[in-house]
Amino acid sequence: MPAIAVIGAQWGDEGKGKIVDSLATQPNVVACGRFTGGDNAGHTIKPSPNEPSIALNIIPSSIVTGKPSIVGHGVLVNPITLYNEIEKLHGLGISTENLSVSLNSHVIMPYHRLEDYCLEKCKGSESVGTTNRGIGPCAADKANRIGIQMWELLNRELLSERLDFVIGLKQPLLEHVYHWDGIITDEKLRTAIGGYFEGHKIKKDAILDDCVALGNKLKKYLKETRELVNKYIKAGVVILESAQGALLDPDLGTWPYVTSTNPTIGGLLIGSGISHKEIAYVLGVMKAYTTRVGGGPFPTELKDETGDRIRKGGNEYGTTTGRPRRCGWFDAMPVNLAIDENGIDGLALTKVDVLEGIEPIMFCVRYEIDGKPKNSIHSVGQNCLGMVKPVYIEHRRSLQEYKGELEAATAHIDILSFGPGREETRYNLSDELRNLLY
Ligand code: IMO
Ligand code: MG
């Protein structure tokens, strides 16, 4: 039995969490996992109309189904967020017995979050608009081979030595390269990490004590997840849940306005440790319109009342940061790029209900530069995406027909979602996907 990959086909926040939740409840599915991203991601699930919705940042959406849920080594893990999430689930009466977190996940440290904050400040008007979760600096330390992995939290002596070395590098970086003034103006960030700094100084002992305490609390969840995923794949279907969206990929997306781990199919393979031969189906998730958080080109952005209406109707405010998301019309160009680069077999279309009552609905089928048609982002060149003029089709008929037109412009739509609840989902599964799930 193989794996189904679920990938965001836009700039993130496509509703992957809800789609994974509905797939995870199907009979053949034995486990789900997250294998890329970190707590920059946010997914909201609503198991039933009477239950409150649950927002998670690290733990896969499948945890509410009771099926084994894995956080693979490709995820950058902030142990504070992870522990708080586990506690939150327990508070809601949801068991985490079936949660496993990779021993080899890289740890997001308080100094990573501060570095993220300082670097964004230095960039000024060129800032990426990150989630301030320390993703970039943690990924950089991983690449630089000075990162700390989860298993190291279990050994105080070793961790102490490692922190001495790394903090020895970070301290002058913060003070003399970023010229950090010792002040964190962002209140949320200050509350989260303020206790780990004194003036300009990183408080190593506070970090060490808390990391060791968290390591002890999280110990029972830490596993060799690579082996685990491969074991589950032999027993049934495993869902690989990506984070973010294809256009936020640092290699394939709208660089430099991207995240720092690969949310595309390659990232899922590397972050889980399974063979590409196990991937039986790639499901792309896209919204009936487009959103983006942070900076970067966004050709179909609506800076008008319609944009405000979509933002309000779709509750387009970040799960992680609360920031209002930039909203715009559906754009087939990024979705088609995601389809090509990830080998997407079918799509899930979400938030169709949000467009109800908006007329006309527009969707972009190609771009123009200087009056010349451009039929793909490749032909535009990612650096020129800010200069394109979107060419729209105007739509005045039913949402059902809108779906048909979107399919014609992109790919087969397997799942249609018109609300946050599990019951607000319609399936039109391809034979391939149906055979995998049932
Ligand atoms: P989910 O999983 C939307 C964006 C940030 C910023 C850029 C880099 O909910 O779809 P980072 O903190 O990763 O260094 O920020 O990436 N970003 C997301 N946008 N959804 C997400 O995740 C995102 N995770 C990161 O807004 O522009
Ligand atoms: Mg999100």
pLDDT in tens, 380-403: 877 789 999 999 999 887 888 889
Q: What would the DSSP string read from start to end of 21-53?
A: HHHHTSTTEEEEEE-S--TT--EEEB-STTSPP
User: How many angstroms separate the CA atoms of 61 and 58, rounded?
Assistant: 9
The answer to whether 311 and 293 have CB atoms below 8 angstroms apart is no
Would residue 43 show up in a list of annotated catalytic residues for this protein? Answer: yes
Q: How far, in Å, from the CA of 259 to the mean position of ligand 1?
A: 6
- The DSSP letter of residue 317 is B
Tell me, yes or no, if the pTM score tops 0.75. Answer: yes
Q: How far is the CA of 114 from the centre of ligand 2 (A)?
A: 21
Catalytic-labelled residue, pool 21, 43, 112, 141: 43
What is residue 200's predicted lDDT score, i.e. its pLDDT? 93
pLDDT in tens, 109-160: 999 999 999 999 999 999 999 999 999 999 999 999 999 999 999 999 999 9
How many angstroms does the Cα of residue 327 sit away from the middle of ligand 1?
15
The CB of 420 under 6 Å from ligand 1? The reply is: no
Is the N-terminal amide bond of 79 cis, ω within 30° of 0? no
Phi-psi region of 21 (alpha: psi -120 to 50; beta: other; left: phi over 0): alpha
Residue 213's SS3 state is: helix
CA dist 60 → 72, 216, 330, 418 (Å): 10, 22, 27, 22
Which portions of the chain are predicted below pLDDT 70? 1
Q: Which atom of ligand 1 is nearest to the CA of 42?
A: 9
Q: Reduced to 3 states, what is the DSSP secondary structure of residue 124?
A: helix
What is the number of helices (H) and of strands (E) in the chain?
14, 22
- Residue 135 Cβ inside 6 Å of ligand 1? The answer reads yes
78 lines ligand 1 (CB under 6 A): no
Asked whether the bond before 297 is cis by omega within 30 degrees of 0, the reply is no
Ligand 1 pocket, residue 336 CB under 6 Å: no
Cα atoms in the 13 Å half-sphere on the side-chain side of 39 = 26
244 ligand 1 Cβ < 6 A: yes
Strand 346-350 versus strand 69-71 pairing type:
unpaired
Cβ neighbours of residue 80 closer than 8 Å, sequence gap 6 or more: 192, 210, 214
Structure tokens, 174: 């913060």
Atom of ligand 1 nearest to the CA of 132: 12
Regarding the beta carbon of 410 and ligand 1, being less than 6 Å apart is answered no
- All domains of the chain, ordered by start, with CATH? 3-100+224-437 (3.40.440.10), 110-219 (1.10.300.10)
Run of H or E residues at 335: helix 332-342
Whether 200 is a known active-site residue: answer no
Question: How far lies 344's CA from each of 237, 276, 411, in Å?
Answer: 18, 14, 8
Question: Which ligand minimizes its atom distance to the CA of 249?
Answer: 1
Query: What is the pLDDT at residue 155?
Result: 98
Per-residue confidence (pLDDT) for residue 65, from 0 to 100: 92
Identify the H or E element spanning 78.
Answer: none
